[in-house]
Amino acid sequence: MSQAATTTQRRVSWFEATARQRLAALLDPGSFTEFLGPAAREISPHLALFGLPAQFDDGIVIGQAKLGGHEVFAAAQEGRFMGGAFGEVHGAKLVGLLRAAKAASRDAVLLLDTGGVRLQEANAGELAISEIIRAIVDLRAEGNSVIGLIGGRAGCFGGGGIIAGCCTRLIVSEPGRISVSGPEVIETNRGVEEFDSQDRAFVWRTMGGKHRYLTGGADCFVDDDTTAFRAAAIETLAGRTPLTVSVLEAEQARLKARLKRFGAAKDGSEVWQALGVTNPASVPGMDTEEFLNATKAVRESADDAR
């Protein structure tokens, strides 16, 4: 552990890190206490039916910790196990954590990395997502914050995307993708002319971290670096936006304005053009600093209307 302190500023990719590595890098050193950890062996009761291996934490790590000295509850999905998808146990752990956060009046940080519902236990997963959304709204209505961090391998798809939309604030990196229907799902249902899931650049222009940040779908854009996520999370936790009717009225106006302003666009680059980004074609190639400098004056901010 002391190694971390002596290592020079080596960049650790959030995208490449495991759920446990992300938590270790994000939270104050040594402050994390896990709830229902692998020793409890609470595995999925359903995967065996499909002949699939289970994991002792069911692909999600939850617990309490400090973040910049601030007491928080934290959850991290493991995108390498079943694509970070929500099953019965996986989902219930997060439901429990959010309910506990409300009882203890703590903020929550969610390290989302998920393909959505785990199809082998689809109904339980779908319902867990609904329970998570309700628990987030309950927690936020009490005045606590729920911060979402998105930049993992599995992205944030399906019901995971809807959960993201319920968070107080979102921190994303370039590889972070947020959407409801995944690229393959749209292509399968609507054809390759509607959505070419193999065209990676197009996928990122439609649902990638930069596009979400530019349109107000995310609040902070950071490097694919655990240190950058930590700094942004500490800064974000300092704010306070209880969920009220006026927040939702402001969100209503914000989303309506987005449809009016950009609804005719066929591609992310057309949205960026309409925003007033000087050279939209160069956006995907920009590093974080260039990108933030080139867009800060024109991007749509969510302005806490989320």
Partner 1 sequence: MTHDKLLSKLFPAGHNVIVQDGLVFGGGTLGGSQPVHVIGVAERSFLGVEGAIALAEHVLSAVKGTARHPILVLVDSRSQRMSRHDELMGLNEFLAHLAKCLLLAAAQGHRTVALLYGGSAAGAFIATALACDTLLALPGANPEVMDLPSIARVTKLPLEKLQEMAAATPVFAPGLENFAQTGAVAQTLDPAGDLAAQVLEALSLPPTLDERDRLGAERGGRPRAAEIAARVCREAKTA
**Which positions from 247 through 286 interact with partner 1, judged by CB under 8 A?**
248-249, 251-252, 255-256, 258-259, 262-263, 265-268, 271
Kindly tell me which residue out of 23, 24, 67, 89 binds partner 1, with binding defined by CB under 8 A. Answer: 89
**Contact status: 137 vs partner 1 (CB under 8 A):** yes
Cross-strand pairs, 77: 60
In the complex, minimum distance from the CB of residue 47 to partner 1, in angstroms, rounded to a whole number: 11
Q: Three-state SS string across 91-136, please?
A: HHHHHHHHHHHHHHCCEEEEEECECCECHHHHHHHHHHHHHHHHHH
In the complex, minimum distance from the CB of residue 207 to partner 1, in angstroms, rounded to a whole number: 5
Q: What is the dihedral of CA 135, 137, 139, 144, to 10 degrees?
A: 150
Question: Whose structure tokens read 């306070």?
Answer: 240
Kindly tell me which residue out of 5, 245, 285, 289 binds partner 1, with binding defined by CB under 8 A. Answer: 245
Tell me which residues in 28-47 interact with partner 1 (CB under 8 A): 33, 35-36, 42, 45-46
Kindly tell me which residue out of 66, 134, 153, 231 binds partner 1, with binding defined by CB under 8 A. Answer: 134
**Site stretch for partner 1 (CB under 8 A), options 15-23, 237-245, 278-286, 289-297:** 237-245
Kindly tell me which residue out of 59, 84, 151, 159 binds partner 1, with binding defined by CB under 8 A. Answer: 159
In this structure, is the dihedral angle defined by the CA atoms of residues 256, 258, 260 and 265, taken in order, positive or negative?
Answer: negative
In sequence order, what are the residues at sequence separation of 6 or more whose Cβ sits closer than 8 angstroms to the Cβ of residue 63? 32, 33, 34, 35, 37, 73, 74
Q: What is the CA radius of gyration of the chain?
A: 19
Tell me which residues in 164-183 interact with partner 1 (CB under 8 A): 164-166, 178-181
Whether the CB-CB separation of 88 and 123 falls below 8 Å is answered with no
Tell me which residues in 4-23 interact with partner 1 (CB under 8 A): none
